[in-house]
Amino acid sequence: MANHSFSTPAPKPGEPPLKEKIVHFIVDDQGDGRPAKLTQVDTSNLPHFTYTDRPGTLAPPDRNVVAPEGFGPFGGQTFVVDVGTVNLMQTSTMPDGALPYDAAIYRIDKSGTRHLFARNLQGGFPQIKFQGKRLLLGRIGKSYSTGDFHYPDGSLHAIEFTG
Protein backbone atom coordinates (compact mmCIF):
# COMPACT_ATOMS: atom_id res chain seq x y z
CA MET A 1 0.00 0.00 0.00
CA ALA A 2 2.86 2.38 -0.68
CA ASN A 3 1.68 5.96 -1.24
CA HIS A 4 -1.96 5.01 -0.63
CA SER A 5 -4.25 8.01 -0.33
CA PHE A 6 -7.33 7.86 1.86
CA SER A 7 -8.82 10.99 0.28
CA THR A 8 -11.75 10.85 -2.09
CA PRO A 9 -12.56 13.60 -4.58
CA ALA A 10 -15.83 15.42 -3.88
CA PRO A 11 -18.69 14.83 -6.32
CA LYS A 12 -19.19 17.37 -9.09
CA PRO A 13 -22.31 19.57 -9.13
CA GLY A 14 -25.33 17.49 -10.04
CA GLU A 15 -23.67 14.19 -9.09
CA PRO A 16 -25.14 12.19 -6.20
CA PRO A 17 -23.37 12.50 -2.84
CA LEU A 18 -20.73 9.89 -2.08
CA LYS A 19 -21.66 6.97 0.14
CA GLU A 20 -19.51 6.02 3.09
CA LYS A 21 -17.46 2.90 2.56
CA ILE A 22 -15.70 1.10 5.37
CA VAL A 23 -12.27 -0.17 4.40
CA HIS A 24 -10.32 -2.58 6.61
CA PHE A 25 -6.55 -2.79 6.89
CA ILE A 26 -4.04 -4.91 8.76
CA VAL A 27 -1.38 -2.61 10.19
CA ASP A 28 2.07 -4.18 10.55
CA ASP A 29 4.22 -1.96 12.76
CA GLN A 30 7.82 -1.84 11.47
CA GLY A 31 9.33 -0.24 14.55
CA ASP A 32 10.12 3.26 15.74
CA GLY A 33 10.48 5.81 12.96
CA ARG A 34 9.59 3.40 10.16
CA PRO A 35 6.38 3.54 8.13
CA ALA A 36 3.92 0.78 8.95
CA LYS A 37 2.96 -1.71 6.24
CA LEU A 38 -0.73 -1.62 5.37
CA THR A 39 -2.54 -4.57 3.82
CA GLN A 40 -6.12 -4.01 2.74
CA VAL A 41 -8.49 -6.79 3.79
CA ASP A 42 -11.27 -7.92 1.46
CA THR A 43 -14.40 -8.25 3.60
CA SER A 44 -16.87 -8.73 0.75
CA ASN A 45 -17.53 -12.37 1.74
CA LEU A 46 -18.17 -11.58 5.42
CA PRO A 47 -21.78 -11.27 6.64
CA HIS A 48 -23.09 -7.73 7.21
CA PHE A 49 -23.53 -6.69 10.85
CA THR A 50 -25.67 -3.77 12.02
CA TYR A 51 -25.15 -2.27 15.46
CA THR A 52 -28.15 -1.44 17.61
CA ASP A 53 -29.14 2.19 18.13
CA ARG A 54 -26.94 4.04 20.60
CA PRO A 55 -26.72 7.62 21.89
CA GLY A 56 -23.79 8.82 19.82
CA THR A 57 -20.16 8.65 18.89
CA LEU A 58 -19.07 8.77 22.52
CA ALA A 59 -20.70 5.41 23.10
CA PRO A 60 -19.22 2.97 20.58
CA PRO A 61 -20.96 -0.36 20.06
CA ASP A 62 -18.29 -2.34 21.89
CA ARG A 63 -19.34 -0.59 25.11
CA ASN A 64 -22.95 -1.79 25.00
CA VAL A 65 -23.99 -4.34 27.62
CA VAL A 66 -27.13 -6.48 27.75
CA ALA A 67 -28.98 -6.74 31.06
CA PRO A 68 -29.41 -10.25 32.47
CA GLU A 69 -32.95 -11.57 32.93
CA GLY A 70 -32.56 -10.97 36.71
CA PHE A 71 -32.50 -7.20 36.11
CA GLY A 72 -36.29 -7.04 36.36
CA PRO A 73 -38.32 -5.63 33.46
CA PHE A 74 -35.09 -4.42 31.84
CA GLY A 75 -33.69 -7.94 31.39
CA GLY A 76 -32.49 -8.53 27.83
CA GLN A 77 -32.34 -4.80 27.07
CA THR A 78 -29.17 -3.01 26.00
CA PHE A 79 -27.46 -0.43 28.22
CA VAL A 80 -24.87 2.03 27.00
CA VAL A 81 -22.94 4.83 28.67
CA ASP A 82 -22.45 8.35 27.31
CA VAL A 83 -19.13 9.61 28.71
CA GLY A 84 -20.25 13.24 28.75
CA THR A 85 -18.09 16.19 27.73
CA VAL A 86 -14.73 14.92 29.00
CA ASN A 87 -13.22 11.64 27.81
CA LEU A 88 -9.96 11.13 29.69
CA MET A 89 -8.88 8.48 27.20
CA GLN A 90 -8.97 10.91 24.26
CA THR A 91 -8.02 14.38 25.42
CA SER A 92 -4.93 16.51 25.48
CA THR A 93 -6.27 19.19 27.82
CA MET A 94 -8.17 18.87 31.06
CA PRO A 95 -10.78 21.18 32.50
CA ASP A 96 -9.78 23.03 35.64
CA GLY A 97 -11.27 21.55 38.79
CA ALA A 98 -13.21 18.35 39.16
CA LEU A 99 -14.61 16.54 36.14
CA PRO A 100 -18.18 17.52 35.21
CA TYR A 101 -21.18 15.45 36.24
CA ASP A 102 -22.64 15.14 32.76
CA ALA A 103 -22.22 11.45 31.89
CA ALA A 104 -25.33 9.30 31.55
CA ILE A 105 -26.51 5.72 31.10
CA TYR A 106 -29.12 4.96 28.45
CA ARG A 107 -31.35 1.91 28.16
CA ILE A 108 -32.36 0.73 24.69
CA ASP A 109 -35.51 -1.36 24.77
CA LYS A 110 -36.24 -4.28 22.47
CA SER A 111 -38.02 -2.01 19.95
CA GLY A 112 -34.83 0.08 19.63
CA THR A 113 -36.16 3.09 21.56
CA ARG A 114 -33.60 4.85 23.74
CA HIS A 115 -34.49 5.86 27.34
CA LEU A 116 -32.44 7.83 29.87
CA PHE A 117 -31.67 5.44 32.74
CA ALA A 118 -29.26 7.40 34.99
CA ARG A 119 -27.84 10.91 34.67
CA ASN A 120 -25.60 13.42 36.43
CA LEU A 121 -22.79 10.86 36.62
CA GLN A 122 -19.23 12.14 36.79
CA GLY A 123 -17.45 11.97 33.45
CA GLY A 124 -13.92 10.85 32.73
CA PHE A 125 -14.18 7.45 31.13
CA PRO A 126 -17.14 5.62 32.69
CA GLN A 127 -17.76 2.03 31.71
CA ILE A 128 -20.64 -0.28 32.61
CA LYS A 129 -20.86 -4.04 33.12
CA PHE A 130 -23.41 -6.38 34.64
CA GLN A 131 -22.53 -8.64 37.56
CA GLY A 132 -25.54 -10.72 38.52
CA LYS A 133 -28.47 -8.37 39.21
CA ARG A 134 -26.17 -5.36 39.56
CA LEU A 135 -25.21 -2.81 36.94
CA LEU A 136 -21.68 -1.67 37.78
CA LEU A 137 -20.38 1.73 36.73
CA GLY A 138 -16.63 2.19 36.99
CA ARG A 139 -14.75 5.33 36.03
CA ILE A 140 -11.23 6.67 36.06
CA GLY A 141 -10.49 10.07 37.52
CA LYS A 142 -8.01 12.84 36.86
CA SER A 143 -5.23 11.63 39.13
CA TYR A 144 -5.11 8.26 37.36
CA SER A 145 -4.77 9.76 33.92
CA THR A 146 -3.01 13.07 34.58
CA GLY A 147 -1.14 12.77 37.86
CA ASP A 148 -3.33 15.53 39.33
CA PHE A 149 -3.49 13.97 42.79
CA HIS A 150 -6.02 16.45 44.19
CA TYR A 151 -8.84 14.31 42.78
CA PRO A 152 -9.78 10.63 43.26
CA ASP A 153 -8.28 7.96 41.00
CA GLY A 154 -11.76 6.82 40.11
CA SER A 155 -14.88 5.27 41.54
CA LEU A 156 -17.10 2.20 41.36
CA HIS A 157 -20.89 2.40 41.69
CA ALA A 158 -23.56 -0.30 41.67
CA ILE A 159 -27.19 -0.05 40.61
CA GLU A 160 -29.18 -3.07 41.76
CA PHE A 161 -32.69 -3.99 40.69
CA THR A 162 -34.69 -4.64 43.88
CA GLY A 163 -38.27 -4.39 42.56
Q: Kindly state the helix (H) or strand (E) to which residue 142 belongs, with its residue range.
A: helix 142-146
**Eight-state DSSP code of residue 1:** -
In three-state secondary structure terms, 81 is strand
Residues 51-70 have a mean pLDDT of 64
Q: How many angstroms from the chain centroid is the CA of residue 135? A: 17
Q: Could you read off the pLDDT of 104-132 as tens digits, one per residue?
A: 899 998 888 889 999 998 877 788 999 88
Q: In which order are the strands placed within the sheet that holds 114-121?
A: 65-66, 78-82, 103-108, 114-121
Total-model pTM? 0.58
Query: Which residue(s) pair with 28 in the sheet?
Result: 37
